[in-house]
Amino acid sequence: MAAASHLLSYQLCPSYNYRKPIISDKKILPLSFCRYGSPCFDPKAPSRKNPYPKIMTVSGKRQLEVVYDPEERINRLANEVDKNTGLSRLTLFSPCKINVFLRITSKREDGFHDLASLFHVISLGDTIKFSLSPNKTQDRLSTNVPGVPLDDRNLIIKALNLYRKKTGSDNYFWIHLDKKVPTGAGLGGGSSNAATALWAANQFSGCFATEKELQEWSCEIGSDIPFFFSHGAAYCTGRGEVVQDIRPPIPLDTPMVLIKPQQACPTAEVYKHLVLNQTSIVDPKTLLEKISQNGISQDACINDLEPPAFKVLPPLKKLKQRVLAAGRGQYDAVFMSGSGSTIVGIGSPDPPQFIYDDDDYKDVFISEARFLTRGEKQWYTEPNSSFSEIEDPSSTTETPSSI
């Protein structure tokens, strides 16, 4: 059942349509669209609290109205948990990343490839709400977008299962994922979600594990996840799981624009088209040193996965070429992030005008972003927001439930 107040009405006669607004006390209760994707009544409408059944007469017909508010029920259950724990609910920002450069250096015996890349967290991200569940058997995940798996195929659930396996914790959660990072974008949105879930689970357990342990464990479920336990900028090698924290080599206020077409680039398919002897021969450490000393430049933002990605998705090559041509010096560099399909323009938050004018790009995802880091023993926060919310039993502030 969706996480919203639903007004269920049962008439004592047929022909009731539950999708129509219900007449109550001679007022039309406004039907709106919830952020979680389900129709619901306007949260500002009256009679949301203390649901109860009542009999009323509409146009001479008797009608039994049953008001059921699952959100209130979940909050009530969470409050029961509050009595026995110091931390019951936590809201965290889950930022994505870009690869400023990405070199593929060799193929491994295990079938994976060795890479060397400058990863950097950016300000685009999801928001994840965690609530301790009285249920000690399974987690419960909801999201605001269709198509996202809600079972153990999701990296959030995998991360929580991993944490319980490593620590013996018996905490289970209600989780709501407010997703803004597109999937199949080369931005590591799912990996960030997993890292955020591990961080959250550790907070609920009183920081039982160290950040280093969380980072080491996380590589068991994804190569990009360990990076998010850096402070935001890292030189990554191996499959991506060998993370060397570095000082941010690029000013954090450097603007950028992200442009992603609807089509995704399946990572496995991109690697199938990779030809190692056709990749760059530039030493990745030389690229890192160049960016650290001179800043972003087009020749330093090499991505060895661009040629195979352009074979998998030919329109992506055209998009990059058009952004480069239309930028006319607007961008310091234009490149693809990860295995695609996001094209990044560094130096300006604005896309070129053709993105708005050309019908071929009417459905692209566009977002501006900045580079982002985190402090010691703190998780990432969205700029100009207070996304890291912790509630304790003494708090009197009402928090909207997410399940």
Residue reference for tokens 């609807």: 262
Spatial neighbors of 300 by CB under 8 A, at least 6 apart, are 100, 101, 287, 290, 291, 294, 333
Spatial neighbors of 330 by CB under 8 A, at least 6 apart, are 345, 347, 348, 350, 352
Task: Specify the pLDDT at position 74.
Answer: 58
d(CA 312, CA 335): 16
pLDDT at 392 over 90: no
Q: How confident is the model at residue 87 (pLDDT cuts 50, 70, 90)?
A: confident
Catalytic annotation, pick one of 97, 129, 158, 179 = 97
pLDDT at 191 over 60: yes
Half-sphere exposure of 49 (CA within 13 A, CB side): 2
Query: What does pLDDT average to over the chain?
Result: 82
Considering only residues 39 and 352, tell me which one the structure prediction assigns the higher pLDDT.
352
The token pair at 19 is 């999708």
d(CA 73, CA 79): 10
Task: Specify the pLDDT at position 55.
Answer: 44
Task: Specify the pLDDT at position 222.
Answer: 96
Q: How confident is the model at residue 76 (pLDDT cuts 50, 70, 90)?
A: low
Task: Specify the pLDDT at position 212.
Answer: 97
Q: What is the DSSP string of 19-81?
A: TSPPEETTEEPPEEE-TTSSEEE-TTSS--SS---EEEEETTEEEEEEEE-HHHHHHHHHHHH
d(CA 18, CA 38): 13
Q: How confident is the model at residue 385 (pLDDT cuts 50, 70, 90)?
A: low
d(CA 325, CA 348): 15
pLDDT at 89 over 60: yes
Mean local confidence (pLDDT), 193-204: 98
Catalytic annotation, pick one of 82, 126, 139, 224 = 224
Of 11, 8, 6, give the one whose Cα is nearest residue 32. Answer: 6
Neighbours of 200 (CB within 10 A): 26
- 359 dihedral zone (left: phi>0; alpha: psi -120 to 50; beta): alpha
d(CA 299, CA 280): 11
- Bridge partners (DSSP) listed for residue 6: 68
Task: Specify the pLDDT at position 32.
Answer: 36
Q: What is the pLDDT of residues 17-28, one digit of tens each?
A: 333 333 344 333
pLDDT at 266 over 90: yes
Mean local confidence (pLDDT), 216-227: 97
For the chain, the farthest-separated pair of C-alpha atoms sits apart, in whole angstroms, at: 83
Q: How confident is the model at residue 346 (pLDDT cuts 50, 70, 90)?
A: very high
Q: What is the pLDDT of residues 269-311, one digit of tens each?
A: 999 999 999 999 999 999 999 999 999 999 999 999 999 999 9
184, 185, 187, 190: CA torsion to nearest 10 = -20
The token pair at 329 is 């010096």
Residue 303 DSSP code? B
Of 181, 190, 129, give the one whose Cα is nearest residue 158. Answer: 190
d(CA 292, CA 250): 7
Q: Contact at 8 Å (CB) between 176 and 126? A: no
Which amino acid, one-letter code, is at 60?
G
Q: What is the DSSP string of 354-380?
A: HHHH-GGGTT-EEEEE-B----TT---
Sign of the four-CA dihedral 301, 185, 389, 163 = negative
Task: Specify the pLDDT at position 77.
Answer: 59
d(CA 207, CA 62): 57
Task: Specify the pLDDT at position 48.
Answer: 40
Half-sphere exposure of 329 (CA within 13 A, CB side): 0
pLDDT at 133 over 70: yes
Considering only residues 32 and 106, tell me which one the structure prediction assigns the higher pLDDT.
106
Q: How confident is the model at residue 384 (pLDDT cuts 50, 70, 90)?
A: confident
Query: What's the whole-model pTM score?
Result: 0.76
Residue reference for tokens 């000082």: 247
d(CA 331, CA 319): 14
Task: Specify the pLDDT at position 327.
Answer: 80
> What backbone phi and psi angles, to 5 degrees, belong to 348?
-150, 145
Q: Contact at 8 Å (CB) between 176 and 140? A: no
Strand positions, DSSP E, 277-359 = 333-336, 343-346
SS3 113: strand
The token pair at 74 is 């979940």
Q: What is the pLDDT of residues 98-127, one digit of tens each?
A: 999 999 999 999 889 999 999 999 999 999
pLDDT at 206 over 60: yes
Considering only residues 87 and 56, tell me which one the structure prediction assigns the higher pLDDT.
87
d(CA 188, CA 121): 10
Q: Would you call 224 a catalytic residue per the annotation?
A: yes
- Bridge partners (DSSP) listed for residue 28: 23
> What backbone phi and psi angles, to 5 degrees, belong to 146?
-75, 160
